[in-house]
């Protein structure tokens, strides 16, 4: 018996030994796998795993390792957030007992080795926040026990169906912030155990499969930031009985929000913001009593806010911004006492802010800006002590700012700009020590700025601009706020002086705008302590004394605007000091009595300087040679001074110079020939100097020249090469000593609109080639010694508005051909030797005797003596002609009447096709064909109305679809509009211009056949509830428009000014590519600062200030219109919106918000404050709006040109995509 027991014990001991050896072997395998992982990653010596993961200690004691109690094998590996860099080794697949694998929040790279597919016990995989890429491995489908799969924040591009279809136990699938592309994975609908589906921030397209809405276990559906389209099913809650959260923000879903959502009784989060939903907010939604988050902003919703919205007592967020919601704010909101965000901004809400809002004791954010709310700010609002952000801007709120505002002790942001607030700023406001941003601009606030404002020690932005009634001095305490970065007090009635003590300027100011006030005294030298200043704008005040040289210590300064003050600078030393500001781009010190000699140190200014204005500053002496060092200079203006000597040859080193103003000085000597090396020079104004000698012959080489003003000098000769400048737009050489004659090459100036050669000594005859100047508007050759007759060819110059030929020795008759000049308004041939009958038709009906006086042999007309009858053989010949010709004329008139009668009855006489390029003309188009193509001009084919007619959609017999522009010839200017469009479209070729196909014209019908654009106009996409353009689409369309304008202004032999640029004239093809259309108001002028005149006003709101009542147009007018379009495209506000009244324009509205508060004006459908890309998008649109402001400067000379605009907006797009 003892032997038996001994035997059994021996066997047991051997078995135990074998078991222990087996376990040791298996745990050794786990150890080897983890050591292999350690060898594939980079760890520094202090990393926890460096020493801890060692063969000297048990695997089960290692950091991040959990072993099972039964088999003593590794069951869980959690090394998340340990700053590990490396790859996953295949040996990790040997951890055969592994149940949970968490390697998230590290920097693992490369592929996931297929050896991991052997880990069949895995229930949890978290590889989020790493750098894996490619498709999610198909063998993930082998993990039949898997319950949680998290792959967030990697670079995965697709979910193969086979990788998920077998995961029947999967409860959580999260693949957010990856690069998933293509259609929504339909196989996800087979995962009937799924509780959480999170695919946020990918690039999924197409509709959401219906099967997703049948996963009865689903609790969370998060698909935000994709490109999903389609609609939500009407019975959405039938299969989603346990759903708690639906978040599908920023997609392209459309249709109505299903009323059946009220059946999802467990729902606490419904977020459908920034899609294309339309219709109303379903009233049934108020039955979702558990709802905490309701986000429906950025759609096309209309109607009212449900009256019983207050039933949602548990609601914490209510965001309905950027819709078309009307009506008033329901008073039932008083019941939503858990609310901490209330956002109704950018709707059409009316009425008052209800006093019941004071019940929302947990409210932190209140956004009601951009509505039509009226009344006053309810005092009850200030009972909400939790408020941190309040924006009521851009409404019609009046009354005063209540003193109770001081009780909001947590308030950080207060935006009340663009309202009708009056009274004074309550001192209690400055009890709120937490304030960081305050904007009260564009109200009617008066009184003074309270000194207590200095107690706001966290203030970063202060905008009190454009109240006009705000008076008194600027409190010194304001300059003690070290956190202040942006201060704008412009356009008020502030007076007093700025503090001088250095302690007041030890701030972090980036931008200081005090322009257009009545501030006097000196500019304190201690302002240089604000070393972060980039913009210092003090123009239009009463500052006096010297400009402090210490401004040169502002090393980051980019803009310095001191114009229109009473400032001085001994020896112009300020220019020497500013040489230290190496980032300086703009210096404008015009209209100050600087009264000094321009120093040589001007050449030491920043190489980045682009704009330099010293007009009307009483400076004297010579222009220093150092001017040539400013290699980046674009515009140099030093007009209206007392400069003497010659233009230095170093001007020729300014290779980027485009605009040069040196007029109204005492410059003398000949022009330097080296000016001809400035290949980009577009405008030269040297008027009213004493420059002598000939104009350099090489001027013909400067083909960029568009405007030459050399009038009122002592020039003696016009070089023959000047007449080769085919793109020249304006030429003024009047009041010189020019001699010689006008050559036939005078007619080569194809783009010229203004020629003034008056008050010289020109002789000879006016060349007949002058008639080739078809774009010429103003011609003055008065006070010369011109002889011969007035050329008949003048009658071909259809654009002429002014012809001044007085005080010459012209003879012969006034050509009858001039009667055809329908735009001619100013005509003067007085004091010549003209004879014969004065024309009596056309424009001659309006001219007075002053136009013809001093010509003794002129007769006829309505004001001069009758012309004498001829005698002798002339009379006999006349009688013979009467006998022969009268019957012939009568016969021809009769025959003509019959022809016209037959034409009007049948109207199928073949019509003439205008001279359009052969590549675009189809077969001859007749009126009958157009009538049939439009079904008799049926209203159902009407695409829209324009200033000179209507546009129809036409389908011809060959199935060609065309847009047919039919001109209403009863409207004044319609004939010219048709002629202009034919002239413009005849030769233009650009992908972003509307293409002309053919034309049809007869005596009483004119039409153009244009390329059909199926997506309508940019206007309907911006302002219709049925359309939406995202950030990139808007950018690309505006790049298209810029490309077209750049071509019109700079890329074509004759520079073309569109004249009526606006969103309705930008058409979109099937790919949403923009095409500029409607050239009815176009002027064929040329490039540069050219000026033309037009009677036909463009669309109000888009026209430049200089357009005015007299209709001055130039290339810069197009740039201005483009800038307004940029603002409209990214704010979705029309420039003639009713909010823009009195002193508020779209430009000033944008200007007041840039750079301080751009989010207040940008179209909120482009983003929401909580989104990941918010700052990126905000920066992008801010850059666009800054570009728009540069395009819409008040002075045309300060605006960009399209050659600069196009690369700028392309750069903005590129930077946005890179970020």
Is residue 840 within 8 A of residue 860, CB to CB? The reply is yes
Q: Is the separation of the CB atoms in 404 and 380 below 8 Å?
A: no
User: Residues in the chain with pLDDT < 50?
Assistant: 3-4, 7, 10-25, 870-923, 1086-1089, 1093, 1095-1096, 1109-1110
Tokens representing residue 808 in the block: 């010459």
What is the separation, in whole angstroms, between the first and last Cα of the chain? 85
CATH code given to domain 927-1011: 3.30.200.20
Q: Which fold has domain 1018-1218?
A: Transferase(Phosphotransferase); domain 1 (1.10.510)
Listing DSSP states for 177-234 in one string gives SS--EEE--GGGGG-TT--EEE--SSEEEEEPPGGGGG-TT--EEE--SSEEES---T
pLDDT tens sequence across 740-776: 999 999 999 999 999 999 999 999 999 999 999 999 9
Distance of CA 462 to the CA centre of its chain: 25
Residue 431 is encoded by which pair of tokens?
């009890």
The CA-atom distances, in angstroms, between 253 and each of 91, 276, 684 are 46, 6, 56
Question: Which residues contact residue 584 at a Cβ distance below 8 angstroms, ignoring those fewer than 6 apart?
Answer: 557, 558, 560, 578, 605, 606, 608, 609
Judge whether 813 and 791 are in contact, CB under 8 Å: no
What pLDDT sits at residue 1082? Answer: 58
The CA distance from 84 to 64, in Å, is 13
For strand 148-150 and strand 124-126, is the pairing parallel, antiparallel, or unpaired? parallel
In DSSP terms, 764 is beta-bridged to 786
- Which residues contact residue 548 at a Cβ distance below 8 angstroms, ignoring those fewer than 6 apart? 522, 523, 524, 525, 527, 528, 574
- Which CATH code of 3.80.10.10, 3.30.230.30, 3.90.25.10, 3.40.50.2300 fits the domain covering 1-125? 3.80.10.10
Separation of alpha carbons 619 and 607, rounded Å? 23
- pLDDT given for residue 963 in this prediction: 87
The residues pairing with 708 across neighbouring beta strands, listed in sequence order, are 684, 731
Task: Please say if 1060 is a catalytic residue.
Answer: yes
Q: What six digits make up the tokens of 80?
A: 């998340």
Phi, psi of 488 (to 5 degrees): -125, 110
965 marked among binding-site residues: yes
Total-model pTM: 0.65
Question: Are the C-beta atoms of 497 and 517 separated by less than 8 Å?
Answer: no
CA 639 to mean position of chain CA atoms: 33
Determine which helix (DSSP H) or strand (DSSP E) holds 101, and give its type and residue range.
strand 100-102
CB 1084 within 8 A of CB 751: yes
Looking at 187, 269, 615, 1060, which residue is catalytic? 1060
Can you name the residues that pair with 951 across neighbouring β-strands?
Answer: 944, 965
Say if 1-125 and 738-865 have the same CATH topology: yes
CA distances from 1155 to 282, 502, 1032, 1127 (A): 39, 27, 22, 14
Show the CA angle centred on residue 189, arms to residues 185 and 195, nearest 5°: 110
Count how many Cα atoms sit within 13 Å of the Cα of residue 889 in the half-sphere of its side chain: 6
Q: Does the domain made of 738-865 have the CATH classification 3.40.50.40? A: no
- Can you tell me the distance from the alpha carbon of 770 to that of 741, in angstroms, rounded to the nearest whole number? 13
Interatomic CA distance for residues 525 and 551, integer angstroms: 7
Q: Quote the CA–CA distance of 968 and 545 in Å, as a whole number.
A: 63
**Are the CB atoms for 140 and 185 separated by under 8 Å?**
no
Domain-wise residue ranges, the chain: 1-125, 738-865, 869-900, 927-1011, 1018-1218
Q: Got the DSSP string for 568-591? A: E-GGGHHHHHGGG-TT--EEE--S
- Asked if 93 and 119 count as a contact pair (C-beta separation under 8 A), the reply is yes
The per-residue pLDDT for 52 is: 93
Q: Is the distance from CB of 1080 to CB of 981 less than 8 angstroms?
A: yes
What is the separation of C-alpha 1071 from the centre of its chain, rounded to a whole number of angstroms? 21
**pLDDT at residue 980, as a whole number:** 67
What are the Cα distances from residue 822, in Å, to 176, 819, 825?
A: 68, 7, 9
Q: Could you tell me which of 209, 253, 249 has the C-alpha nearest to residue 228?
A: 253
How open is the CA angle 71-75-79, to the nearest 5 degrees? 145
3-state secondary structure of 853: coil
| Cα–Cα distance for residue pair 319/310, rounded to 1 Å | 14
Three-state helix/strand/coil letters over 393-421: CCCCCCCECCHHHHHCCCCCEEECCCCCC
């Amino acid at each position: 018996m003892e032997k038996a027991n001994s035997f059994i014990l021996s066997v047991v001991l051997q078995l135990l030994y074998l078991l222990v050896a087996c376990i040791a072997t298996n745990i050794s395998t786990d150890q080897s796998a983890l050591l292999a992982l350690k060898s594939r990653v980079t760890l520094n010596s202090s990393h926890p795993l460096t020493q801890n993961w060692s063969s000297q200690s048990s695997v089960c004691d290692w950091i991040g390792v959990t072993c099972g109690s039964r088999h003593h094998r590794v069951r869980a590996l959690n090394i998340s957030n340990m700053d590990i860099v490396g790859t996953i080794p295949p040996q990790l697949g040997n951890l055969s007992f592994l149940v949970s694998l968490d390697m998230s929040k590290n920097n693992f790279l490369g592929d996931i080795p297929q050896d991991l597919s052997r880990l069949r016990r895995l229930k949890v995989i978290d590889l989020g926040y790493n750098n894996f890429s490619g498709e999610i491995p198909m063998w993930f489908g082998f993990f039949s026990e898997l319950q949680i799969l998290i792959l967030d924040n990697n670079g995965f591009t697709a979910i193969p169906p086979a990788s998920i279809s077998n995961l029947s136990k999967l409860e959580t699938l999260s693949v957010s912030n990856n690069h998933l592309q293509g259609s929504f994975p339909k196989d996800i609908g087979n995962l009937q155990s799924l509780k959480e589906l999170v695919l946020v921030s990918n690039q999924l397209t197409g509709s959401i499969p219906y099967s997703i809405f049948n996963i009865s276990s689903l609790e969370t559906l998060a698909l935000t930031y994709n490109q999903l389209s389609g609609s939500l099913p009407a019975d959405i809650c039938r299969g989603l009985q346990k759903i708690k959260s639906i978040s599908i923000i920023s997609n392209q879903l459309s249709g109505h929000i299903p009323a059946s959502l009220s059946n999802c009784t467990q729902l606490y989060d419904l977020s459908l913001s920034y899609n294309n939903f339309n219709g109303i907010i379903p009233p049934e939604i108020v039955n979702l009593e558990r709802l905490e988050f309701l986000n429906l902003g950025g759609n096309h919703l209309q109607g009212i806010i449900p009256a019983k919205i207050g039933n949602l007592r548990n609601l914490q967020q209510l965001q309905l911004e950027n819709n078309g919601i009307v009506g008033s704010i329901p008073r039932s909101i008083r019941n939503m006492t858990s609310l901490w965000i209330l956002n109704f901004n950018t709707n059409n809400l009316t009425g008052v802010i209800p006093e019941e809002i004071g019940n929302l004791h947990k409210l932190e954010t209140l956004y009601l800006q951009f509505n039509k709310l009226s009344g006053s700010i309810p005092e009850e609002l200030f009972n909400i002590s939790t408020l941190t952000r309040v924006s009521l801007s851009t409404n019609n709120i009046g009354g005063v700012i209540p003193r109770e505002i001081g009780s909001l002790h947590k308030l950080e942001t207060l935006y009340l700009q663009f309202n009708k607030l009056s009274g004074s700023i309550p001192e209690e406001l400055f009890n709120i020590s937490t304030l960081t941003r305050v904007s009260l601009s564009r109200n009617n606030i008066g009184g003074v700025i309270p000194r207590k404002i200095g107690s706001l020690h966290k203030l970063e932005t202060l905008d009190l601009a454009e109240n006009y009634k705000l008076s008194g001095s600027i409190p010194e305490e304001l300059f003690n706020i070290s956190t202040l970065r942006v201060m704008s007090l412009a356009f008020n009635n502030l007076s007093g002086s700025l503090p001088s003590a250095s302690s007041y300027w030890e701030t972090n100011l980036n931008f200081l705008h005090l322009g257009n006030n009545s501030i006097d005294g000196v500019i304190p030298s201690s302002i240089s302590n604000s070393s972060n200043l980039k913009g210092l704008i003090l123009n239009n005040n009463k500052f006096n004394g010297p400009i402090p040289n210490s401004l040169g210590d502002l090393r980051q300064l980019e803009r310095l605007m001191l114009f229109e003050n009473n400032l001085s600078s001994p020896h112009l030393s300020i220019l020497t000091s500013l040489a230290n500001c190496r980032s300086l781009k703009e210096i404008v010190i015009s209209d100050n009595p600087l009264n000094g000699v321009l120093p040589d140190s001007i050449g030491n200014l920043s190489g980045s300087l682009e704009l330099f204005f010293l007009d009307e500053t009483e400076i004297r002496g010579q222009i220093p040679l150092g001017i040539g060092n400013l290699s980046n200079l674009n515009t140099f203006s030093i007009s209206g001074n007392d400069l003497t000597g010659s233009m230095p040859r170093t001007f020729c080193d300014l290779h980027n110079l485009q605009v040069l103003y040196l007029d109204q000085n005492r410059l003398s000597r000949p022009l330097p020939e080296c000016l001809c090396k400035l290949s980009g020079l577009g405008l030269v104004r040297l008027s009213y100097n004493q420059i002598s000698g000939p104009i350099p012959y090489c001027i013909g080489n400067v083909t960029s020249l568009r405007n030459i003003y050399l009038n009122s000098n002592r020039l003696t000769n016009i070089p023959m090469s000047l007449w080769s400048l085919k793109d020249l737009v304006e030429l003024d050489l009047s009041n010189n000593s020019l001699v010689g004659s006008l050559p036939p090459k005078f007619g080569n100036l194809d783009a010229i609109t203004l020629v003034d050669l008056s008050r010289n000594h020109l002789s000879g005859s006016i060349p007949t080639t002058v008639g080739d100047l078809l774009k010429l508007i103003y011609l003055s050759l008065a006070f010369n010694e011109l002889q011969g007759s007035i050329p008949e060819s003048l009658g071909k110059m259809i654009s002429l508005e002014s012809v001044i030929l007085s005080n010459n020795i012209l003879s012969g008759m006034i050509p009858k051909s001039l009667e055809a000049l329908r735009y001619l308004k100013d005509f003067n041939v007085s004091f010549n030797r003209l004879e014969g009958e004065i024309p009596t038709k056309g424009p001659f009906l309006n001219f007075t005797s002053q136009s013809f006086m001093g010509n003794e042999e002129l007769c006829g007309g309505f004001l001069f003596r009758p012309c004498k009858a001829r005698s002798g053989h002339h009379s006999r010949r006349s009688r013979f002609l009467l006998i022969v010709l009268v019957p012939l004329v009568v016969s021809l008139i009769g025959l003509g009447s019959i022809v016209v009668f037959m034409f009007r009855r049948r109207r199928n006489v073949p019509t003439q096709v205008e001279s359009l390029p052969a590549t675009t003309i189809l077969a001859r188009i007749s009126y009958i064909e157009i009538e049939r193509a439009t079904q008799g001009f049926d209203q159902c084919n009407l695409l829209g109305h324009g200033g000179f007619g209507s546009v129809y959609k036409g389908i011809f017999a060959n199935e060609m679809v065309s847009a047919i522009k039919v001109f209403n010839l009863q409207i004044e200017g319609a004939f010219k509009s048709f002629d202009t469009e034919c002239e413009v479209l005849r030769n233009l070729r650009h992908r972003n211009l509307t293409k002309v196909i053919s034309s049809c014209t007869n005596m009483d019908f004119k039409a153009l056949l244009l390329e059909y654009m199926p997506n309508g106009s940019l206007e309907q996409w911006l302002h219709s509830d049925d359309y939406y353009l995202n950030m990139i689409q808007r950018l690309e369309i505006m790049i298209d428009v810029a490309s077209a304008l750049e071509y019109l202004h700079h890329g074509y032999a004759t520079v073309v000014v569109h004249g009526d640029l606006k969103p309705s004239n930008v058409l979109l093809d099937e790919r949403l590519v923009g095409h500029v259309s409607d050239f009815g108001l176009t002027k064929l002028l040329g490039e540069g600062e050219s000026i033309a005149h037009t009677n036909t006003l463009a669309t109000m709101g888009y026209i430049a200030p200089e357009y005015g009542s007299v209709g001055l147009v130039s290339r810069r007018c197009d740039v201005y219109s483009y800038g307004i379009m940029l603002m409209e495209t990214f704010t979705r506000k029309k420039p003639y919106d009713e909010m823009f009244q009195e002193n508020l324009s779209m430009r000033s509205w944008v200007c007041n918000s840039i750079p301080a508060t751009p989010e207040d004006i940008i179209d909120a459908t482009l983003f929401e404050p909580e989104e990941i890309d918010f700052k990126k998008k905000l920066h992008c649109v801010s850059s666009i709006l800054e570009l728009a402001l540069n395009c819409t400067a008040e002075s045309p000379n300060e605006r960009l040109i399209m050659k600069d605009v196009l690369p700028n907006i392309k750069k903005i797009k590129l930077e946005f995509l890179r970020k």
